[in-house]
């Protein structure tokens, strides 16, 4: 055979048959991973949301348990003011004439300052600068210490002072009673 014939002949070398497999392309692989990622984000996100919601409900129940105790102290201060000859609020916690119950105890610290103590809160009476107010401070048993719920007797309003509101649990303004 001549050289030209060799070049013009069709090659009949058989290529081994490749199984008819569908190869997954890079784009399809990325889409599959994206869908799997979205599923995990929603599943774990929803679990975390449920956990946070349960913790919030538990914190709200603990806070609502302190409200009657706080209202008892507020009522005692208002009663003292009503009966006082000069119409002043008590200048000392002892003048409130509160007695311990199953819900709370009356204690004093080493400085002689009296306060109300419950399982999750400590309520102090502050008369500094004639700002007569009750300050309920959370203890570790609440889930986070040092959240302050302040009730001003003069302006009859509540406020929440949370040193780290991004950390849970916290006390929401919606939980405060409206006067």
pTM: 0.72
Residue 44 domain-assigned (yes or no): yes
The boundaries of the domain holding residue 156 are: 26-175
Residue 20 domain-assigned (yes or no): no
Residue 11 domain-assigned (yes or no): no
Total domains in the chain come to 1
Q: Assess whether pLDDT exceeds 90 at residue 134.
A: yes
Is the distance from CB of 124 to CB of 73 less than 8 angstroms? no
Is the distance from CB of 106 to CB of 100 less than 8 angstroms? yes
Residue 3 domain-assigned (yes or no): no
Average pLDDT estimate for 169-174: 89
pLDDT tens per residue, range 26-77 = 888 899 999 998 888 889 889 988 988 998 999 999 999 999 999 999 999 9
pLDDT tens per residue, range 72-83 = 999 999 999 999
Instruction: Give the C-alpha separation, 179 to 171, whole Å.
Output: 18
């Amino acid at each position: 055979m001549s050289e030209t014939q060799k070049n013009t002949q069709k090659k009949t070398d058989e290529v081994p048959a490749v199984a008819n497999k569908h190869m997954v392309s890079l784009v399809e692989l990325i889409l599959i991973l994206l869908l799997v990622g979205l599923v995990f984000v929603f599943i774990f996100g929803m679990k975390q949301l449920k956990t946070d919601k349960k913790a919030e409900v538990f914190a709200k129940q603990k806070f609502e348990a302190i409200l009657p105790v706080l209202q008892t102290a507020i009522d005692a201060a208002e009663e003292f003011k009503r009966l006082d000859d000069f119409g002043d609020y008590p200048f000392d916690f002892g003048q409130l004439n509160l007695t311990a119950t199953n819900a709370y105890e009356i204690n004093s610290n080493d400085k002689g300052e009296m306060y109300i103590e419950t399982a999750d809160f400590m309520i102090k009476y502050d008369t500094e600068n004639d700002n007569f107010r009750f300050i309920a401070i959370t203890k570790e048993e609440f889930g986070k210490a040092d959240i302050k719920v302040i009730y001003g007797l003069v302006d009859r309003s509540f406020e929440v002072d949370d040193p780290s509101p991004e950390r849970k649990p916290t006390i929401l303004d919606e939980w405060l009673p409206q006067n």
